[in-house]
């Protein structure tokens, strides 16, 4: 299905998110295309953080009782998270999210980053936007894959200074990807000759419609920059050396996940957190936000039971 919106036009017209401006015609087309035209108040705008201009969205249901900060995965953008946003709104939660640097409608070299510390600056900027919008507490933090890595980094290093006074929800969180040793070796060889390689789209969901949608998505990056891999290598060292946290995050992990090294990742997360609550899904693949409805229902029920 061809996109009904023009990404460059939409980027150019984004007003500050905190201004609560009405969603433009281009913005409405974008939200309809990705299924983000959901009930309640909603804003589509931007903010600056880490040297980037970031596209951001917020949704506010009637009588909201909490807020979910939603962080997307690598290669992703906010448009792929309609199922998670719908669940949150139906639970009475406001939602705020942004496209990470180099992703979606945000500025930056596509799918690249020089240092994962920039992601922390982006998250801090998102907190500021939530304060400006006066989004309700408690604040929950939810991240898929790389978004989960950003959430883990934040709570491990911010400790009691974190504004997240609710739950941390990790969907197939990244610590290191599958075939990590080969990836590091390839990076050390290739970085001297190329600045990136062609992306390979993989079957990362059991939903047969998801991969064709990704391949036709106008906001999908088409290359894997070597700079991002180098930043990930440095970040893995940082996380493995991070202090332990008393938090008990909710971790949802598919056992058919071929993207991350989930057995290793779970060992690391169990060592970093006090009794994390883990839901294993035998048939689920990596992109839990876009898994089959029955799989999504299973983990949303798991989260709902623990959020009360």
Convert the pLDDT of each residue in 28-85 to its tens digit: 999 999 999 999 999 999 999 999 999 999 999 999 999 999 999 999 999 999 999 9
C-beta of residue 58 within 8 angstroms of C-beta of residue 17? yes
* Cα–Cα distance for residue pair 185/2, rounded to 1 Å: 39
On whether the CB atoms of residues 110 and 221 are closer than 8 A, the answer is yes
* Domain regions of the chain by residue span: 7-307
pTM of the model: 0.96
Burial track 209-228 (b if 16+ CB lie within 10 A, e otherwise): ebbeebeebebbbebbbbbb
Give per-residue pLDDT as tens, 114-172.
999 999 999 999 999 999 999 999 999 999 999 999 999 999 999 999 999 999 999 99
Q: Which pLDDT band, with edges at 50, 70 and 90, does 182 fall under?
A: low
Query: What are the tens digits of pLDDT across the range 13-34?
Result: 999 999 999 999 999 999 999 9
Q: Which CATH architecture has domain 7-307?
A: 3-Layer(aba) Sandwich (3.40)
Q: Which of 271, 292, 273 is nearest to 282 (CA)?
A: 292
Question: What SS3 state is found at 239?
Answer: helix
Q: How far is CA 194 from the centre of its chain?
A: 27
CA-CA-CA-CA dihedral for 229, 288, 30, 68, to nearest 10: -90
Task: Please check whether residue 289 is in contact with residue 170, taking contact to mean a CB–CB distance below 8 angstroms.
Answer: no
Q: How many whole angstroms separate alpha carbon 294 and alpha carbon 302?
A: 13
């Amino acid at each position: 299905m061809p996109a009904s919106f023009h990404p460059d036009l939409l980027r150019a017209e984004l007003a500050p998110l905190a201004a609560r401006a009405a969603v433009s015609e281009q913005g409405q087309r974008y939200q309809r295309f990705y299924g983000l035209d959901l009930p309640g108040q909603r804003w589509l705008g931007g903010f600056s953080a880490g040297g980037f201009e970031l596209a951001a969205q917020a949704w506010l249901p009637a009588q909201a009782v909490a807020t979910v900060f939603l962080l997307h995965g690598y290669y992703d953008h906010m448009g792929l998270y309609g199922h998670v946003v719908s669940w949150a709104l139906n639970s009475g939660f406001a939602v705020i999210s942004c496209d990470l640097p180099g992703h979606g409608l945000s500025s930056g070299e596509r799918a690249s980053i020089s240092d994962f510390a920039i992601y922390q600056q982006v998250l801090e900027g998102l907190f500021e936007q939530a304060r400006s919008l006066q989004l309700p507490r408690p604040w929950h933090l939810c991240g898929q894959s790389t978004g989960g890595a950003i959430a883990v980094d934040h709570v491990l290093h911010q400790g009691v200074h974190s504004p997240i006074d609710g739950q941390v929800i990790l969907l197939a969180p990244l610590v290191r990807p599958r075939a990590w040793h080969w990836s590091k070796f390839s990076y050390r060889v290739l970085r001297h000759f190329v600045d990136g390689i062609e992306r390979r789209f993989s079957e990362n969901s059991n939903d047969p419609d998801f991969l064709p949608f990704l391949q036709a998505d106008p906001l999908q990056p088409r290359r894997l920059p070597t700079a991002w891999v180098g930043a990930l290598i440095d970040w893995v060292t940082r996380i493995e050396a991070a202090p332990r946290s008393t938090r008990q995050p909710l971790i949802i992990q598919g056992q058919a996940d071929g993207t991350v090294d989930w057995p290793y990742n779970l060992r690391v997360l169990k060592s970093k957190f006090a009794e994390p609550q883990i839901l294993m899904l035998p048939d689920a693949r990596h992109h839990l936000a876009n898994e089959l409805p029955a799989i999504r229902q299973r983990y949303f029920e798991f989260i709902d039971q623990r959020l009360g």
